[in-house]
Amino acid sequence: MQTRKWWKESVVYQIYPRSFYDSNGDGIGDIPGIIQKLDYLKELGIDVIWLSPVYESPNDDNGYDISDYRNIMDEFGTMQDWEQLLEEMHKRGIKLVMDLVVNHTSDEHAWFVESRKSKDNPYRDYYIWRPGKEGKEPNNWESAFSGSAWQYDETTGEYYLHIFSKKQPDLNWENRNVREEVYDMMKFWLDKGVDGFRMDVINFISKVEDLPDAPNPHGVMFVSGSKYFMNGPRIHEFLQEMNKEVLSKYDILTVGEMPGVRPQQAIDYTGEDRNELNMVFQFEHVDIDSGPEGKWDLRPFDLIRLKEILSKWQEELFEKGWNSLYWNNHDQPRIVSRLGDDKEYRVKSAKMLGTLLHMMQGTPYIYQGEELGMTNVRFKSLEDYRDIETLNMYKEKAEAGKNHEEIMRSIYVKGRDNARTPMQWDASEHAGFTAGSPWIKVNPNYMEINAENALKDKDSVFHYYKKLIQLRKQHEIIVYGKYDLLWKEHPHVYAYTRTLDNKQLLVLTNVSGYPQTLQLPDEIQPKSEPEILISNDQHQPFSRELTLNPWEARVYQYSI
């Protein structure tokens, strides 16, 4: 039997504050801006907000490089603003999950400023320092943001490890003081009333001893799942310790971002007898269109492979762990551009993709603008891009002789700025995001795609997402039912059932722009007249032979 938990029954909405809503005209979204839009989110019906980092930061990686964990970044507002946000959210029955970025800090964090001063500084061992090897880096690891993962520091003549940018030095979790500092800081926020943490690359915090060379460092980061710093030797010990000292004392939601994690490991991270985390963000389904060289090495999207991956997660975690469900976040291209048709069938395919995900088992996450069917962006000039990962990659590839068009093509498909263009609120200048000049340009399609239009149009993606959220509240089968895949080998249809006691849902989606005709398999044997729960097309009577229109999604419910 599965235990019932509020975080299993919730829908989470992610806010990337820089791009959400600017209240003071400086071109950067802020906390008072979020407060002004809470009623919009209440209308959508979400239960929890995951707020990307709002802590003090020099913004090398837009807040994922934190220089003070206990203060709010000036550009976003003050601690009073943050407290007001929490109060206004709680008043509306919305919970707040904060981002916890503790694999690394900013190089401007006071600990690192001390650490780099001398080899015997008390903070030296807070980070991972090594002498060079024969005048070169200590090993061949590559940073996720291009180049070596090591930075030479002249003051002491040693290198420090940074899996991300050189302004994001990795913390040394082997050091007990580091762990205690992190736990204290977590309690600081929990005691202020936050309802959970999304933990940034938390499966990176334990590195293998001796930090050996990797056999294939290139692209090692997110595709091949490096055994050197992902799911390392002490990871479970650290998370259990964190759980014992902090998490277990509060009724909160915890989700660990974990590149390279597989279902069996996720069971260890999320199993209820394990006392670690509630759920993880796995990456297998969003890495599906990446080749062996990493995310920029584009591969075509394959629906059969997607079914294999998502079904494996659904089946293996059933009654053993808990899934998180997501298509989008601030690191991923927009799903309607990636798997749907962001032109003629934008609205319809966005709804289909929402259905496909929200009818699965797990806690769904909606990324800002996904509920509007926001799309990828194509800026002509590299100068309009802001993301450090994109800019570093461009430089590295251009220096290696790759041509401009080819590099831009991969940015259009995979760049993180696709997700980071400002939220499109209305058809006024800069999509109503700011009265000033936005820190990153707005997607030019904002005249058509914006929240004001979506709220007015009862057939919008917004209203459809609202319904998906409501259905989850009304039907416990969506939360707790068992998942079974149908037509495993069908190249264009993704269909499955969910079963709880004597009830069943039949979820049918056409992931293509062509009609698809299906004959229901014998195991589908409704004992009551199937009723439509939701559909993005004209309602069709149930029959054993049925044709799905382009990008159609339908969900039937019946007894068995």
C-beta closer to ligand NOJ: residue 276 or 331: 331
Nearer to ligand NOJ, 355 or 390 (CB): 390
- Distances from the Cα of 560 to the Cαs of 15, 220, 339, in angstroms? 40, 47, 33
200 labelled catalytic: yes
Q: Are 191 and 256 in contact (CB under 8 A)?
A: no
Nearer to ligand NOJ among residue 149 and residue 495 (C-beta)? 149
Phi, psi for 218 (deg, rounded to 5)? -70, 120
Q: Does 201 bind ligand NOJ (CB under 6 A)?
A: yes
221-242 b/e (C-beta count within 10 Å ≥ 16 → b) = bbbbbbebbbbbeebbebbebb
Cβ neighbours, 10 Å, residue 543: 9
Other beta carbons within 10 angstroms of residue 111's beta carbon come to 21
Candidate list 22, 61, 342, 552; residue touching ligand NOJ; CB under 6 A: 61
- CB-based contacts of 448, cutoff 8 Å, min separation 6: none
Nearer to ligand NOJ, 99 or 341 (CB): 99
Q: How far is the CB of 284 from ligand NOJ (least distance, A)?
A: 16
| Residue of the chain from 82, 160, 164, 464 that contacts ligand NOJ (CB under 6 A) | 164
Q: By CB under 6 A, is residue 101 in contact with ligand NOJ?
A: yes
In whole angstroms, how close is the CB of 16 to ligand NOJ at the nearest point? 9
Please state the closest distance from residue 312 (CB atom) to ligand NOJ, in A: 23
Under 8 Å between Cβ of 277 and 324: no
Task: Give the shortest CB-145-to-ligand NOJ separation in angstroms.
Answer: 8
Residue closer to ligand NOJ (CB basis): 13 or 64: 64
Asked if 119 and 80 touch (Cβ cutoff 8 Å), the reply is no
* Binding-residue pattern over the window 209 to 228 for ligand NOJ, x denoting contact by CB under 6 A: --------------------
Q: Which has the closest alpha carbon to 60: 358, 341, 386? A: 386
Does the footprint of ligand NOJ cover residue 170 (CB under 6 A)? no
Site string for ligand NOJ, 316-355 (x = CB under 6 A): --------------xx------------------------
- Contacts to ligand NOJ from residues 401-460, by CB under 6 A: none
Site for ligand NOJ in 171-200 (CB under 6 A): 200
Residue 46 contacts residue 13 (beta carbons within 8 Å): yes
Six-digit token pair at 380? Answer: 């002509």
CA distances to 82, 120, 146, 207, 552 from 240, in Å: 30, 31, 32, 17, 44
The single residue of 107, 257, 341, 389 carrying the catalytic annotation is 257
Q: Site mask, ligand NOJ, residues 235-264, x = CB under 6 A?
A: ----------------------x-------
Torsion of Cα atoms, 32 then 34 then 36 then 40, to 10°: 180
Residues touching ligand NOJ, count (CB under 6 A): 9
Reply yes or no on whether 142 is catalytic: no
Residue with Cβ nearer ligand NOJ (65 or 552): 65
Contacts 24+ apart (CB under 8 A), 223-226: 223/287, 223/290, 223/291, 223/292, 223/293, 223/294, 223/295, 224/260, 224/292, 225/259, 225/260, 225/261, 225/262, 226/260
The CB-of-18 to ligand NOJ minimum distance in angstroms stands at: 11
The separation between the first and the last C-alpha atoms of the chain, rounded to the nearest angstrom, is 20
Question: Which CB atom, from 330 or from 554, has the smaller least distance to ligand NOJ?
Answer: 330
Q: Which residue is nearest to ligand NOJ (CB)?
A: 64
**Token pair for 167:** 């302004």
| Catalytic hit among 200, 331, 342, 387 | 200
Shortest distance (Å) from residue 389 CB to ligand NOJ = 7
Determine the Cα–Cα distance for residues 114 and 130; give it in Å rounded to an integer. Answer: 16
Could you list the residues that contact ligand NOJ (CB under 6 A)? 61, 64, 101, 164, 200-201, 257, 330-331
Which residues are known catalytic residues? 200, 257
